[in-house]
Structure formats: C-alpha cells, structure tokens
Amino acid sequence: MAKIVVEQIPVLADNYVTLVHEPNSGATAAVDPGVSEPVLERLAAKGWQLTHILNTHHHGDHTGGNLDLIRRTGCVVVGAAKDSERIPGLSIEVAEGDTFLLGGAAAMVLEVPGHTSGHIAFWFPDSHVLFAGDCLFSLGCGRLFEGSAEDMWASLKKLRELPADTQVYCAHEYTAGNGRFARLVERDNQALLTRLEQVEKLRARGLPTIPTTIADERAANPFLRADTKSVAKAVGMEPGADPALVFAELRRRKDVF
C-alpha cells in the first residue's frame, strides 16, 4: 500500500490539525480541522487539494472547520457512525474494524471511547502512523467527558498494543503539562526523565513535541502504565490492584492537578 506524507499545523491555543497526503493519487485529508483558514493556507503552500476530512470525535475544536472546508474544496467528511448526528457534514460513516482508503493508503478504524462515547482513531499500519485525537496524548490522555474509566483504560490498552514504532499524532500540545504530572507519579522513571529533557529543549525552540511513539508512551506515560506496580503504589494502591481502578484514581488526580 502507498505511504502517506504528514504535515502538522498548529491552530487555536494548543490544537494541531494534521494534513495527510497520499502522493500517488494526490488524495489529501485534514485530521480534526477545528478551523479552516490555516488548513487552506497550508494546502495552497503545498499545492495539495483537500479531498477528505477525518474526524476523531465531535468536539468543536476538532470539527469547527468542517463546513467551510466542504464549501470551499468539495471534500467529504469521514467519522464515527456513532456520531452521525454530531459531526458537521459527515458523509462517510465508519466503525471498529473498517478500513478507509485515502487514495492508495489504508487506514484502520479503531473505536476508542472514553473522552467521548463515539471517539475513533485512524491507524495507517503501512506508514506506521496513528491519529489518536484526544484519546492518547504524549505523556497523558483525554478527560472522561462521556465515558467511564473502564472505557478509557480499555481504549488505551488497545492503542498500547500497536507496533512500538508507530508514530502517534494527537490533537493537542499538552506534553509539558502532562510531563509535570507524570513526574509526580514516577519520579524515578528514567525513560520519563529523558523524555522531559527532550520536551524542554523542543519547546524552548518553539518546536512541537508531537509526534511521539507507542514505544515512548509505553515507557513513560503513566496512563498507559496503570497496570504497573510503581503507578499503583503512586496512587496509594497495592501491587496487583485492578488497573482500571488505578487508572481512575490517576485520572482523578490529573483532573485537579
């Protein structure tokens, strides 16, 4: 299958819109376009024509640009069938296990509820790229607005099982703040400390900390490590405690951090 080219666009306060281009066909998607103008500007600079929008969930900072982009480019919107009434302009409905073709590049659809009930992720296995929306963040995860801790823990485990070299594009630049919380949880995690040094250098230069990788998140993200002794201990639970309960306490503490 064809490989994709990825362009990341910072928008709003801390969001990222990502352009996904399949060069053989010229097909191009915008992932979670909260606004339209920066997307159109980058498309013009690259000489790409927008053919699709990929929405991971319905929140306005991910879908706010949909209708204007449809009007100005004629693109079509791909999103969760479960959110058919909440995603503006949705015309291609997908669900767990579906494959979406962007030109010659295949994306597998993964249902990852927790942040919202209809949240999905798009995984391009041949390109080793995951678009995780607000489910998995670098050193963190999304808040539980519509799902339970059990839902989100199951979703994070699903993403954790993807190949280690998978590049993870999430939709927000939250790494530095997530890292400050993560350091309170696992003060002696060397992988985390190394990652935080990298993050500090990148942000000092005004550079994004995204993408991350599944390997790096397995090693340093406490929300993917709720089934480890060190994280259970950090939230006052015994080794072997139910990881969903550990995760729930971890998420509660982060919410008030």
Catalytic (active-site) positions: 57, 59, 61-62, 115, 134, 172
Helices (H), the chain: 37-46, 60-63, 66-73, 149-160, 175-185, 190-204, 214-220, 229-234, 243-255
State the distance between the two ends of the chain, measured CA to CA, in whole angstroms: 44
Strands ordered across the beta sheet of 129-133: 99-102, 105-111, 120-124, 129-133, 167-170, 212-213
Task: Pull the structure tokens for residue 116.
Answer: 């919202």
Torsion, CA 21, CA 118, CA 166, CA 191, rounded to 10: 130
Residue type, 152: M
Token pair 């490590």 is found at 225
